[in-house]
Structure 1
Amino acid sequence: MKFRFKALQRMREPDELDSPTLLASPRGWIATFVVLIIVAAAGVWFFVGRLPVTVSASGVLTRPAGTARLQSPYGGTVRSMLVRPDDAVRRGQEVAVITVDGGTGRVSERVVRSPFTGRVVAFNAVDGHVVAPGEELLLIERTDAPDDRLVAMLFVPVDRAMGVVPGRPVDLSVSSAPPGAFGLLRGRVHSVSAYPVMLEQAADLVGGVEAARGYLKGAPARLVIVDLERDPSTPSGYAWSTKDGPPVPLQSQVSVAGAIVLGSQTMFDLLLGR
């Protein structure tokens, strides 16, 4: 039987009973302390750190008076539309001429005037179009409110409107200014409707039943008016979560998604459902 030299040498050496035993290397202790610090910090944040509580809602950038549908008081054929989209109109201005057949071969022309001041948003009739009395001709964004300005109208579902009161901060994602590139538009709640807004009321504000359905999502909602925070240093003139926001002025009749900040709570409270 042959024995290797190293094995024989090991048998001749006495046991090293007085040598210290290395339980962990310095690198291992450092990693352990780092993990303990992280766990302690997470525990403190769990009880002390606060998370914002928000409610989301969709809406539109518009004027306080909203939009209005200008209807024809006469039945007949549209001879001429006197305004175009984006035109400014004043109260009493002629906007259309309608040829009316009075019977027995009598034909007359009637002028339709705008009953309010505003800006033409959309057309529902063109030259040569046959209209009935009460049929919509134009959609006009009204600018004749005493406190005319650009605001956001949000439609908050009734079951989530608790806690939405004037003064609450609001972050708005504007469809024409992607938040990934330009950030969020800043605002504050100006007012909350005392009663839920129904489909017909919302349609008068946003310019039609189809648009209103998209905002109400099939359920009554509270109308929340949001004042936009001003910032003269930005190209748009309003405050954004980024330094400058978009490089162009804001336009009305643009869809927005809002997050209304209701307060904050700790993770511990959230876990307990408080």
Structure 2
Amino acid sequence: MAKSIYRQAALERLASPEQIDRPHTLVDGKVWLALIVLFAVSAVAVVWAATLKGKVLVDGRGVVLQSAGLREIVADTSGRIEALDLAPGMIVERDGVVARFRLSELQAELTEALAGRDDATRRLAELRRIYDERNASELAAETERLAAIADGKRAISRSLELLQKKAEAIRELVSRRITGRDELINTEILGTETLERLAVLEREEGIIGLRRLERENASRISLLDEQLKLEEIDRRVTRLQERIARESVLRSPYDGRVVEVKVERGDVLAEGAALAIIDPADAPDSGEKIAVVFVSADHGKRVRPGMEAEIVPGGYRRAEYGYIPAKVVSASEVPVTPAGMRQLLRNDTLVAQLTAGGTLFEIRVVLELDASKPSGLAWSSSQGPDAPIEPGNLLEAQIVVDRIPLIDLIAPRLYSLMRLGDG
């Protein structure tokens, strides 16, 4: 038989081009294996998504609190800060000096009072000089006049003695009828006139003494008035100096640690303004670490006591340290007011930042403790930072308000994708 130049398979296809009687392989075995594995994995994924629950989180911001709350050091007067002995982390003692003020108004009053005292002192000295000079001048004139009066009185007294003797002699002659009564009468009239001259001198002497007494009393009263004015100014100066010494120094009313300093040297403060926030050392310690978290009004009603929370203090990265587990212990039923937040946080700027986004609900959480960690707090994925988390530290929080199967989260997204595909 001659050898064909065509392959047998080609000749068979020509003999039966339809090859109807020959079976065909629709799907390769390897593909079937891959499909089985895919269906198995899908089934496991569906079961896993149906059984494993994901967290529904509500975000919030807040601050770590001391269990008894923070306190403020406030100015008890108004003035400019001349010296400030406060710094974050610093330990202060009760009655320790933390600031010194320049009290401008009181200083101005003191300066005015000191100037008034100088004026009063000079005025008093000048009055004394004037009175002394006037008294000396008038006293010299009075002394000279009194000496003249004394001489006149002595002369008149001698004249009276002589007139009395003359009158007695004339009276004797009249009784003997040697002389007439006219001479006796003239002598008696002359004696009366001499007595009147003596009385005039005595009255003048009394007037001079009275005037001297009046002048001395007037000088004494005038000087006493000036002395009283000077003493009153002295007392005012003393009061102002004592008040400045007392009010220019601000003392801490608490023992504790400085959490935040709100002012700087040179700032002008009004009475009642806060200088610093203090974590008081004498506050009762419950052993708990409390944090307050503020969440938006949209989610505040969903938070309930007992819910879990994840706290990340400011300055620490979640990727590096994880989070601090916490538990909600209270949740406000109504939105918190800015005034209430101010009373709690003692920080107007922080309150303004937190409330900028709208109404907030206040949530209190207790941080989980772990004495083996450097910070004394539990951390989800590390030993945490070496430093403690102090009161006043800002934080970011996520509160677990629900746990739902992952499939409930995935299915709506798949449905949305399918609808987009159909479109």
TM above 0.5: yes
Question: 1:63 offset after TM fit, Å?
Answer: 1.6
Could you say which structure has the larger radius of gyration? 2
Equivalent residue of 1:210, what SS?
helix
Matched AA of 2:257: R
- Aligned to 1:11, the other structure's residue is in SS state helix
Decide which moves more: 248-257 or 5-14: 5-14
What secondary structure sits across from 1:234 in the alignment? coil
The residue aligned with 2:313 is 174
Match of 2:378 in 1: 239
CA distance in 1, matches of 2:352, 2:268: 28
**Aligned: 1:25 with 2:163:** no
Q: Provide the C-alpha distance between the structure 1 equivalents of 2:56 and 2:50, rounded to a whole number of angstroms.
A: 16
Over 3 Å counting, the alpha-carbon distance change for 1:152 and 1:8 in structure 2 is: same
Paired residues of 1:119 and 1:143 also in contact (CA < 8 A): yes
Residue 196 (str. 1) matches residue 199 (str. 2): no
Aligned pair in 2 of structure 1 residues 197, 129: CA closer, same or farther (>3 Å)? Answer: same
Higher RCO (CA-CA < 8 Å; seq separation 6+) = 2
CA distance in 1, matches of 2:314, 2:256: 23
Given candidates 79, 89, 92, the residue that maps to 2:92 is 89
Q: Which has the higher helix share?
A: 2
Q: Does 1:210 align with 2:213?
A: no
Cα distance in 1 between the residues matched to 2:380 and 2:361: 26
The reply on whether 1:131 has 2:269 as its aligned counterpart is yes
- Deviation string for 1:165-196 (max 9, x for gaps)? 22221111233221111111111112223543
Distance 1:40 1:26 in 2: 21
The TM-score, its normalising length taken from structure 2, stands at: 0.56
2:251 equivalent in structure 1: 113
Aligned-partner residue type, residue 81 of structure 2: V
Deviations 1:176-223 (A, max 9, x none): 221111111111112223543211222333332221122234423222
Q: Is contact 1:68–1:142 with CA below 8 Å preserved after alignment?
A: yes
Task: Give the SS at the match of 2:309.
Answer: strand
SS in structure 2 opposite 1:77?
strand
Asked if 1:41 corresponds to 2:44, the answer is yes
Letter in 1 for 2:6: F
* 1:202-258 deviation line (CA, Å, top 9, x unaligned): 233333222112223442322212111112232222211114233443344332211
Unaligned runs of 5+ in 2: 114-239, 413-423
Which residue among 253, 256, 278 is the counterpart of 1:140?
278
Question: Is the CA contact (8 Å cut-off) linking 1:92 and 1:115 kept in structure 2?
Answer: yes
Q: Partner of 1:162 in structure 2?
A: 301
State how many pairs are aligned.
270
Q: Secondary structure at the match of 1:27?
A: helix
- After TM superposition, the structure 1 stretch with the greater mean CA deviation from structure 2, 132-141 or 232-241, is 132-141
Cα gap change, 1:150/1:219 in structure 2, threshold over 3 Å: closer, same or farther?
same
CA distances 1:14-68 after superposition (whole Å, capped 9, x unpaired): 9865544212112100111122223333443454442222222111223234444
Contact 1:171-1:259 at 8 Å conserved across structures? yes
Q: SS at the partner of 2:253?
A: coil
User: What is the aligned counterpart of 1:266 among 396, 405, 408?
Assistant: 405
Matched, 1:77 2:80: yes
Q: Which has the higher strand share?
A: 1
The match for 1:5 is 6
Q: CA–CA distance in 2 between the matches of 1:123 and 1:69? A: 10
Matched-pair contact (CA < 8 Å) for 1:63–1:143: no
Q: Please tell me the residue identity of whatever aligns with 1:132.
A: A
Q: Which moved more, 1:163-172 or 1:187-196?
A: 187-196
- Render the CA deviation track for 1:119-141: whole Å, top value 9, x for unaligned: 22333444454333233322334
User: 5+ unaligned residues in a row in structure 1: which ranges?
Assistant: none
Secondary structure, aligned partner of 2:328: strand
Question: What CA distance in whole angstroms lies between the structure 1 residues aligned with 2:264 and 2:339?
Answer: 25
Structure 2 counterpart of 1:36, one-letter code: F
Q: For 2:320 and 2:362, locate their aligned partners in 1 and report how far apart those are by CA, in whole Å.
A: 29
- How far is 1:142 from its partner? 4.1
For 2:326 and 2:261, locate their aligned partners in 1 and report how far apart those are by CA, in whole Å. 31
Q: Determine the C-alpha separation between the residues in 2 that align with 1:248 and 1:82.
A: 24
Q: Distance in 2 between matches of 1:15 and 1:158?
A: 76
